[in-house]
Amino acid sequence: MSLPLSPPFPPMEALLVNEIPNGHGWQYEPKWDGFRCLVFRDDENVELQSKSGQSLTRYFPELVEVFRKLKAKKFILDGEIAVPVRHRFSFDDLLQRIHPAESRVKKLAREHPAIFIAFDLLATVDGVSLVKKSLPERRARLEQFARKFFSNEGIRLSPATTDISKARQWFKTVGGDLDGIMAKRLDCPYLSGERTGMQKVKLARTADCVIGGFRYASNAKVVGSLLLGLYNDAGLLDHVGFCSGLKSGERTALLQKLKPLIQPPGFTGHAPGGFSRWSTKRSMEWEPLKPELVVEVSYDHFTGERFRHGTRLLRWRPDKLPKHCRMEQVAKRGTGSLALLS
C-alpha cells in the first residue's frame, strides 16, 4: 500500500495573532526556531519537504538516515528541523545547510547534526491518511507512534498541552530556542494550506537603528529601502539589514530629506554589498548617508548579526542619539528550551 499523500503537499499554516487564545478547545505547542518540514517515508524512499513545497532531502542527509532506520516503513510526519549547537538551536548553522555543494552539506551534517521535532502525524504505518481526523486523535496517534518508534536522538516529540498557564510559561522563554507559541483548535482536521484552526503568537521585538544609507526603488528615482545600522563594541557602524514597505506618497519627500546627508562611507564596519547568488547589479547599488537619522523598527529575528527578514518602520526617533543605537539591543533574549524535548 502506497502513501495516501505525496509531495508537494501544502502544510497547514497559522494566522499571526497578538495574544495566546484562551478558552476551551485549544491545544498549545512551542513554536520552534527552525525549518518547517514534512517527512514522507515509503519503504526505503524518504523525502523531506519544505513549507513552500521544495525538497530539503539533499540538505539533511543525516535526517534521511534517521528516518530510514525507524522500524516504521510508512508514515508522514509534520514538524520542524533544527540544528543544536552547544545546547542551543542555531539558525545560522541551519541556514548554512542550504548549500549547492554536497561535500559542504555532508561536512556540516557531521559537525552539527540536525534534529527533527515532530508535532503531527498525517499518515500511519498502514498508509492510512489522518488529515480528516481531529487534532486530539492525530495527537494520540503521534504519541503512540513516538513511543513505539522514536529511539534515535535525531528525532524528538514536541510537547503539547491544553493548559494555557503552561503555554504562557513557555512563552516566557521566547527569544531563545522558541520562536513563539502555536495554538491549534482541538476540533479541526488537518487543513492543508489553510490558516483556519491554527494561530501563532510571537514576541514583539523593536530596535532603534541608524540610517546608514538607502537604495533607490527599482522603477523610479525615489527611496526604495532604508539601510539600517547598529554600532558594534568597537564603535563601528555595522550594516544589519533594511527597511522597505515605505508608503508610496512619502518616498519622494523622503528622498529630499536624505539627499543633503549623502556622504561616504555610511557604514564604518560591515557594509552592504558583497556578491552572492541572490545579488543583482541593482541590489549592489546604494547611497551612503551621514549617520544622523534614527528610526525605530519592528523585527522577527536577528541572527548572524543581521535582521533575518526585512523590518517594518514604526517611527522616526529625532530624540535618539545615533551613538546609542548599539548591537546590544538585539542580543538574543530568552532561555534555552531544549529541556522541553527531554
Residues 109 and 156 in one domain: yes
Please indicate whether residue 255 or residue 1 has the higher confidence score (pLDDT). Answer: 255
How many of the other CB atoms lie within 10 Å of CB of 332? 13
Residues 177 and 210 in one domain: no
pLDDT at 226: 95
Confidence of residue 330 (pLDDT cuts 50, 70, 90): confident
- Domain CATH number, residue 258: 2.40.50.140
Q: In sequence order, which residues have a C-beta less than 8 Å from that of residue 63 and are 6 or more positions away? A: 39, 48, 81, 114, 115, 116, 154, 155
Alpha-carbon distance of 103 to 316, in angstroms, equals: 47
Residues 293 and 253 in one domain: yes
Asked if the structure places residue 234 within a domain, the reply is yes
Q: What are the pLDDT digits (tens) for 225-248?
A: 999 999 999 999 999 999 987 887
Q: Which of 43, 272, 9, 207 is nearest to 120 (CA)?
A: 9
Asked if the structure places residue 323 within a domain, the reply is yes
Alpha-carbon distance of 238 to 134, in angstroms, equals: 49
- 237: cell is 557602524
Q: What are the pLDDT digits (tens) for 131-158?
A: 999 999 999 999 999 999 998 789 999 9
What does 219-254 look like in DSSP terms, one character per residue? Answer: SSSSEEEEEEEEE-TTS-EEEEEEE----GGGHHHH
Catalytic residues, by residue number, are 31
Residues 156 and 245 in one domain: no
Q: Which of 337, 304, 308 is nearest to 84 (CA)?
A: 337
**Are 209 and 28 in contact, with CB atoms under 8 Å apart?**
no
Mean pLDDT taken over the chain:
90
Q: Which domain holds residue 121?
A: 15-202
Question: Rounded to two decimals, what is the model's pTM?
Answer: 0.78
Domain count, the chain: 2
Residues 132 and 216 in one domain: no
Residues 161 and 233 in one domain: no
Adjacent-strand bridge partners of 228: 211, 241
Question: Residue 180 class from Cβ within 10 Å (0-12 exposed, 13-18 middle, 19+ buried)?
Answer: buried
pLDDT at 174: 78
Give the residue from 154, 179, 202 where a domain finishes.
202
100-109, 202-211, 254-263 — which is least confidently predicted? 202-211
Asked if the structure places residue 245 within a domain, the reply is yes
Asked if the structure places residue 7 within a domain, the reply is no
Strand, helix or coil at 84?
strand
pLDDT at 335: 54
Asked if the structure places residue 341 within a domain, the reply is no
Give the residue from 176, 202, 228 where a domain finishes.
202
Residues 164 and 230 in one domain: no
Residues 161 and 221 in one domain: no
- Domain CATH number, residue 66: 3.30.470.30
Residues 157 and 117 in one domain: yes
Whether the pLDDT of residue 160 is over 70: the answer is yes
Asked if the structure places residue 6 within a domain, the reply is no
Residues 74 and 150 in one domain: yes
Residues 289 and 228 in one domain: yes
Q: What are the pLDDT digits (tens) for 65-122?
A: 999 999 999 999 999 999 999 888 888 899 899 999 999 999 999 999 999 999 999 9
Asked if the structure places residue 222 within a domain, the reply is yes
pLDDT at 176: 67
Residues 118 and 194 in one domain: yes
**Are 297 and 311 in contact, with CB atoms under 8 Å apart?**
yes
Give the residue from 187, 202, 217 where a domain finishes.
202
Asked if the structure places residue 137 within a domain, the reply is yes
Alpha-carbon distance of 36 to 169, in angstroms, equals: 23
